A and B are shown apart, each in its own frame.
Chain A
Amino acid sequence: MVCALGIEGSANKIGIGIINDGKVLANVRRTYITPPGEGFLPKETAKHHREAILALVQASLKEAELQPSDLDVICYTKGPGMAPPLLVGAIVARTLSLLWQKPLLGVNHCIGHIEMGRLITGAQNPIVLYVSGGNTQVIAYSNKRYRIFGETIDIAVGNCLDRFARIIKLSNDPSPGYNIEQLAKQGKQYIKLPYVVKGMDVSFSGLLSHIEELAEPNKRRNKRKKPTDEAEKEPEYSKEDLCYSLQETIFAMLVEITERAMAHCESNEVLIVGGVGCNERLQEMMRIMCEERDGKLFATDERYCIDNGLMIAHAGAEMFKAGTKMPFEDAFVTQRYRTDEVLVNWRDD
């Protein structure tokens, strides 16, 4: 039996979770929400996390009805992510580890998502599509590593969605992606957008520039270009149609590379994790592909898809059970931390 407390703060969510032997005891979270048209910046996000984190630790202990002495290990997100918000979680984790005299473990954020998805859905050895604001990867397990089969070569899929939401001034509450999903339901006309799959990899930045041009035809992007005398052009397409077309195009790209990974690994399970993974249209498209191949789709809801402390606690507990130890001096944070750097010593298959 391992009881673990996990602290996650790699992006604009700060979350604390407590798990005891695979049983969820607490999962609390706060999100830093910026005004429409604005993204979250590292410094301001860190400030938000500093102001929220201690109350969340208290709330999680209360929800779990535990004393600090009941815990076996403290876990925190070591990376990848933005350094200033990551550091907030790390400082509190280190301090609690020394105060309560509990071992400390740094967890890879991507591994946290994968292990949480496997725990909640019961998927055994799935192809993992990890899609969020900062990451886009197709992952398969082989020989003690989660190996990256394909990924984005520029921006993450969630970043593409977030930035498009900023262009058309959608609210960031509860999340930009959710609001795009709602608008897309009213879209009627499909607008052809660049579809960029390169082997197992995908690219979204060209697509984003293209759709930006469609959404704001009058914005002067090139400063050297002389303003034309033409009358102001009205945007040709509605926001609903743009959202709908954007989702259909980028999700089709993701389904394509996931299907190729399934064929390559001869796997018939797909697990979607990460913040974009709670998009129901993506789940629907992936489900159709899986059914055509006699496969099965596993997905979770926003409690476990979107960044949370619980996934860090769970992945940390798995590492702890397998005997992983981390010297205190190594409790730093790192903005770059690849999924395949972690030795998966808790899986024997």
Chain B
Amino acid sequence: MPEQAVNESTLRLPFDTPQHAEIAYRVLSVDQEPRRNFVRKTLSLEENVLVVQFSADQVKNLRTAISSFFECLLLCQDTIRLFGDAGTQPSANSA
């Protein structure tokens, strides 16, 4: 059997500020990929852009890893959007 090529995908996700990007980076770095998923995930920061690289031998594993990552990312983004300014500026911008 010929050696299988690796499937890769890179997401570049810009945030409003580098601070928010760093928060998302730290929040989303905690969870390891499930061992049986055979997906490698690496997160990095470029100023206000969160860069996430996925690689896997099988496309289907890549897809599940990316879609579950998006669920966490969206929740994290929504939390930042809703509560981002509340801690430093009380009563301002709170819904």
Contacts and interface: CB of A to CB of B under 8 A. Distances in A.
A99 B87 contact: yes
Contact of B72 (A68, A87, A98, A328): A87
Interface string A317-341: 0000000000011011100000000
Contact of A67 (B23, B30, B79, B90): B90
Contacts of B82: 54, 58
Contacts of A92: 75, 79
Contact of A101 (B29, B84, B87): B87
Given A50-B75, A96-B79, A68 B23 contact: no
A92 B71 CA distance: 12
B83 A96 contact: yes
A333 B82 CA distance: 24
B90 A69 contact: yes
A100 B87 CA distance: 5
20 contacts: A53-B75, A54-B78, A58-B94, A67-B86, A67-B90, A68-B86, A68-B87, A69-B87, A90-B30, A91-B76, A91-B79, A92-B79, A94-B27, A95-B24, A95-B79, A95-B83, A96-B83, A98-B27, A99-B87, A332-B31
A50 B80 contact: no
A100 B91 contact: no
B1 interface: no
Contacts of B72: 87, 91
Given A94-B27, A329-B30, A99 B90 contact: no
Given A95-B27, A98-B27, A328-B30, A50 B83 contact: no
B23 A99 contact: yes
Interface string B5-46: 000000000000000000110110111100000000000000
Given A67-B90, A67-B91, A332-B31, A99 B84 contact: yes
Contacts of A331: 30
Contacts of B24: 95
A332 B27 CA distance: 10
Interface of B: 23-24, 26-27, 29-32, 71-72, 74-76, 78-80, 82-84, 86-87, 90-91, 94-95
Given A92-B75, A332-B31, A332-B32, A68 B26 contact: no
A98 B78 contact: no
B80 A99 contact: yes
Contacts of B90: 67, 69
Nearest to B85: A99
A273 interface: no
A331 B23 CA distance: 14
A69 B91 CA distance: 11
Interface in A42-76: 46, 50, 53-54, 57-58, 67-69
Contacts of A328: 26, 30
Contacts of A99: 23, 79-80, 83-84, 86-87
Contacts of A68: 83, 86-87
Nearest to A58: B95
Nearest to B76: A95
A95 B76 CA distance: 6
Nearest to B78: A54
Highest count of chain B CB atoms <10 Å: which of A88, A99, A100, A333 = A99
